[in-house]
Structure 1
Amino acid sequence: MAQQVIMPKWGLTMKEGKVVRWLKGEGESVESGEPLFEVETDKITNSVEASASGILSQIIVPEGETAAVQAVLAVITAPGEKPDEIASGTVSSKQPEVSANTDGEKVTSKSADVPVEDGEFVRAMPAARKLAEELNVVMSTVTGTGPNGAITMKDVQTVADAAFSGINASPKAIEFARKKGIDLSQINGTGEGDKITKADILRAMNPVADQSTSVAPAVAKDTIVPMDGVRKLIADNMHASLNNAAQLSVFVEIDVTEIVQLRTTLLLRNKRNSEYRLSYNDIVSYAVCRALKRHPIMNSTLQDDGIHIHEHVNLGIAVALPNGLIVPNIKLADSFTLEELKTEIKDVVGRSRSGGLNMDEIAGGTFTISNVSMLGVDGFTPILNPPETGILGVGRIIEKPAVKDGEIKIRKMMTLSLTFNHMTTDGAPAMAFLRELGDMLENPGLMIV
């Protein structure tokens, strides 16, 4: 019997994923439990195992395309079995997406039956309904080719494109013309091969006097980076973070001369070990864990049922990747010594860059550190990593004249930036945490008392 391969749901916030790579091709045999394809989300890229053994008879979502959670990506069949092909955009009927309503009760996704203007019902996929609204396509004019005659996104797109068949125009020009109700047969194209571009439509909508006698200057072509995949998901999460939390940032400049000396001493003590490394971020992380234990409200998360103050620190470390940002966290970070914490940080940062993290290591964080010192930045306003209450920004260390023991001396100075959720805590407790953290970094002995 044919088995559907669906887009998995990793974490409560995952809505879609991008198929990065198929590890098997159509027609190849598949064993249950072996890696079948790779999925990229805003948090992680990971492989997904085959749920059944058989033949990969149909790949519905090709590499590079994004699909919603529970969308059918492929079909695995028994040898010799030839099931009906499944259209792109189909959602698994065996595993409906489950969400929670405001009362906490679980509800399944909406029916695919949607009303049209005349009161009749047309069976359509939710994604097809949304696309039809965007393209102004009347559902009753579309013939469904999906399961049980349901209308798919491909069916809607076919009807929408039919009105522009035979017209030499770019996809963006066609989309723009469709929304504006413009007849492209009246537009002269200036693109490659006389293709009509969106700019041609805009010029036709806003003609310039004596345009026929003027010489159009050469227009430099922009480099366009698609706003999709990880970049789009990060953008959505950052926007949601700002919309759903009352974020306030405070700053403090501290004298870290003593921390610089402490690091130098520890490096000298271990100079015989050529592989020994100790960063300022390791020391700051250790101090943050100590300070959070003394100011537990900053080690909290805002959830639907209230503020959760956590017994242990799951410390998030923001790691910049070539295609975005990821925040793995070290579980029970407050239970480690400086040397142990240093090793844990090195491990998760290394695996973040090599793609070796699992979902547990990027979920459940309680506080985050974002260090930009290597970029030569003094201070900034970090954005919260929901549902956490606080995130600490760490700037570079720079020599400055400062007053020490009544005299002006050259000291090592650093700026700390703390963003916190004012819905969870007030300014005074947050600032008290930042001040105590600064005191620890100015006087390392305070970390052990």
Structure 2
Amino acid sequence: MFEVKMPRTSDDIEESLIVFWHVEEGDDVEEGDVLVEVQTEKAVFEIEAETEGTIREILVKRGESAKIGETIATISDDQDNESAEEENDQKHIEKKAETGAGSQSFVRVSPRLRKLARDAGVNLSEIRGSGKGGVITESDIRNAAEGQTNEETGSGNKMSGIRKVIASRMMASLHESAQLTLTSWVDVTGLSQKRKESASKVSWNTLICYATVQALELHPEMNAHIEGDQITTYDQVHLGMAVDTESGLYVPVLTGAHELTIEKMDEELKVLAKKVASGNLSGIPMKGSTFTVTNLGKFGIEFFTPIIHPPEVGILGVGTIETHLALENGKVIQRERIPLSLTFDHRAVDGAPAAKFLQSVAGQCQALMEEL
């Protein structure tokens, strides 16, 4: 029997998420076959079979997480399979487990699933299996347990693996830094008009990201990392872009953003967002960003308080563009503006430099009229 264990992919990562299993229980595999894709908050990795045999049991399902060194599956040869089957059959004949209240008719499941049902207080005889031939799966037991919990208490849903990673990351960010948020409106009336006149297809998100990159080059103190008492500033801008997906929040990285034209940045940001939204994380850099932008404009949000993506010292939140009436020279005119929310780590940057950076972002937005 060979145990497939969760490998260590980074010195600072102690837990990884199962993204996708390429095999199912009962599948035959050869040495070198890709078994599963696992994800940390930084990257996606493939785990290959180190031996040939048959997938006997998958212990950690898609969407669940496992600690480094934990067994996530087992591979057995034909002899192992025959011995295990005889052993399990004998155990099933000798003992009928009880789950939930009172006794129940015997249901054949693996010892692991029987224990899971017993711990969850689920009666196996009341579950209709969704597996091949009506076999009860782990998901069936968990769904039954959640349904029972919801009915009795109205809550009790367990965090998914990626949700746990996000929660841990955000709590660490808030506990280990001194975060403060500044807000400001940016007038984009002229930029909006120029965008329409030039029929530019560059998104507003890209325009703000491009202006942010230009401002970071003028204010390197914001393009930095802080770890312990060490502050490291960078000449190159590697821009993180928060992307919301059905499974949670991801931050892919646009490396070398300072070297890109507006059109090239727009193209690459759209490709990154599309890949991440579809769940295709292979080959996408998820670490090394020096500053992050998060955009909630499509949800109609104005100002908000984004949480820093450690070890960065700042993150810019972008709200929805809106029209408003302003008084100029005694006349009421219509203008357009975008709300920006800058959260920065006060350990590394003071309020005045952070405010100047936010002003620079606004100024770079105005300068973009010459580039469209």
TM-score of the superposed pair, with normalisation by structure 1: 0.63
Give the secondary structure class of the aligned counterpart of 1:362: coil
Aligned in 2, Cα 1:35/1:403: closer, same or farther, shift over 3 Å? Answer: farther
Which residue does the alignment assign to 2:198?
A: 266
1:220-369 to structure 2, matched below 5 A, reads 222=154, 224-267=156-199, 277-304=201-228, 306-358=230-282, 361-369=285-293
Give the aligned residue type for 2:173: S
- Determine if the alignment matches structure 1 residue 19 to structure 2 residue 2: no
Give the secondary structure class of the aligned counterpart of 1:334: helix
Displacement of 1:61: 1.5
Which residue does the alignment assign to 1:388?
A: 312
Give the aligned residue type for 2:205: N
Give the secondary structure class of the aligned counterpart of 1:225: coil
Give the aligned residue type for 1:293: E
Which residue does the alignment assign to 1:115?
A: none
Task: Work out which of the residue numbers 399, 411, 418 in structure 1 matches 2:342.
Answer: 418
Give the secondary structure class of the aligned counterpart of 2:308: coil
What is the count of residue pairs matched by the alignment? 317
8 Å CA contact 1:254–1:442 kept in 2: the answer is no
8 Å CA contact 2:149–2:156 kept in 1: the answer is no
Give the aligned residue type for 2:300: G
Task: Work out which of the residue numbers 360, 363, 372 in structure 2 matches 1:439.
Answer: 363
Displacement of 1:12: 4.4
Q: Give unmatched runs, 5+ long, in structure 2.
A: 85-111, 123-147
- Determine if the alignment matches structure 1 residue 36 to structure 2 residue 35: yes
Which residue does the alignment assign to 1:67?
A: 66
Alpha-carbon separation, structure 1, partners of 2:41 and 2:208: 27
8 Å CA contact 1:18–1:40 kept in 2: the answer is yes
Aligned in 2, Cα 1:198/1:285: closer, same or farther, shift over 3 Å? Answer: closer
Q: Which protein has the larger Cα radius of gyration, Structure 1 or Structure 2?
A: 1
Cα offsets for 1:334-382 (capped at 9, x unmatched): 1001011111101111111122224761100111111111111111011
8 Å CA contact 1:54–1:78 kept in 2: the answer is yes
Displacement of 1:76: 3.9
Alpha-carbon separation, structure 2, partners of 1:261 and 1:381: 29
Alpha-carbon separation, structure 2, partners of 1:395 and 1:169: 43
Q: Give unmatched runs, 5+ long, in structure 1.
A: 86-153, 172-196, 200-218, 269-276
Alpha-carbon separation, structure 2, partners of 1:419 and 1:12: 28
8 Å CA contact 1:400–1:410 kept in 2: the answer is yes
Alpha-carbon separation, structure 1, partners of 2:54 and 2:285: 31
Aligned in 2, Cα 1:302/1:47: closer, same or farther, shift over 3 Å? Answer: closer
Displacement of 1:414: 1.5
Q: Which has the higher contact order (CA 8 A, sep 6+)?
A: 2
Alpha-carbon separation, structure 1, partners of 2:311 and 2:370: 30
Cα offsets for 1:154-201 (capped at 9, x unmatched): 8xx98xx9xxx9xx9948xxxxxxxxxxxxxxxxxxxxxxxxx999xx
1:69-148 to structure 2, matched below 5 A, reads 69-76=68-75
Cα offsets for 1:370-395 (capped at 9, x unmatched): 11111111110110011111100111
- Determine if the alignment matches structure 1 residue 50 to structure 2 residue 79: no
Displacement of 1:396: 1.0
8 Å CA contact 1:290–1:447 kept in 2: the answer is no
Cα offsets for 1:394-443 (capped at 9, x unmatched): 11111111244664421102111000011111111111100111122244
Which residue does the alignment assign to 1:180?
A: none
Displacement of 1:235: 1.3
Aligned in 2, Cα 1:73/1:381: closer, same or farther, shift over 3 Å? Answer: same
Give the secondary structure class of the aligned counterpart of 2:61: coil
Alpha-carbon separation, structure 1, partners of 2:189 and 2:37: 47
